[in-house]
Amino acid sequence: MEAKDRRTRVTKLFLVFLRIGAFTFGGGLAMIPFIKREIVDNNHWIEEEDIVDIFAIVQSVPGVIAVNSAIFVGYRVAGFLGSVASAIGVVLPSFIILSVIALFFSTFKSIPVVANAFEGISAGVTALIVSALLNLRKASIKDVYGWIIAACVFLIMTVTDISAVYILLASAILGLIISYVRKKKGW
């Protein structure tokens, strides 16, 4: 990739993740549909199946999902500088907003309009997370075995406090076992 093209991509990554960071409330899971739309649909930097794999990877490593996603995508699109630009872009709006809120927090929380707005935002974030789930299921759950694993993980996550890392590792092992058995049996 030539230098001018790399600079253009780095700048665009920064601006895309700045916009994602500025207009997404509710954390990393709520950002998933926006990241997918910008990276896969609008800019065509990464294929849909690859973005599903990226989301799986960034959720299984320590750190904030949004920042991990930005770093991973930025690196795939424009190397090290892309990862730095994406990370700064996604973090900068929150840093600025939280700095301002920290200055005036006690005043903000007692204003009924602000409390009601945050209640509405929470409901909207829930809808965004469900939307991301519905959009990503097509690319990530390909057969009945995938649905069984997904259902089991859902049940385990709702009734236990087992770390998501262990559940993802168990899912990976189960996927490998199913793949091995299917290959061996010729299914």
Tens digits of residue pLDDT in 117-165: 878 888 888 888 888 888 877 777 888 888 889 899 989 999 999 988 8
Instruction: Name which of 18, 21, 16 is nearest 42 in CA terms.
Output: 16
What average pLDDT score do residues 27-42 get? Answer: 83
Using left for φ > 0, alpha for ψ between -120 and 50, and beta otherwise, residue 44 falls in left
Contact 76, 69 (CB under 8 A): no
Q: What pLDDT shows up at residue 92?
A: 94
Cα distances (angstroms) measured from residue 28 to each of 9, 15, 58, 59, 94: 23, 17, 10, 9, 12
- List the one residue out of 84, 93, 90, 46 whose CA is nearest residue 67: 90
Residue with tokens 């602000």: 114
Is the pLDDT at 1 greater than 70? The verdict is no
According to the model, what pLDDT value does residue 100 have? 84
Q: Are 74 and 13 in contact (CB under 8 A)?
A: yes
Judge whether 57 and 43 are in contact, CB under 8 Å: no
- Residue-wise pLDDT tens digits, 61-74: 877 888 888 999 99
Q: What is the pTM of this model?
A: 0.59
| Residue reference for tokens 């995508």 | 73
* pLDDT score, position 160: 92
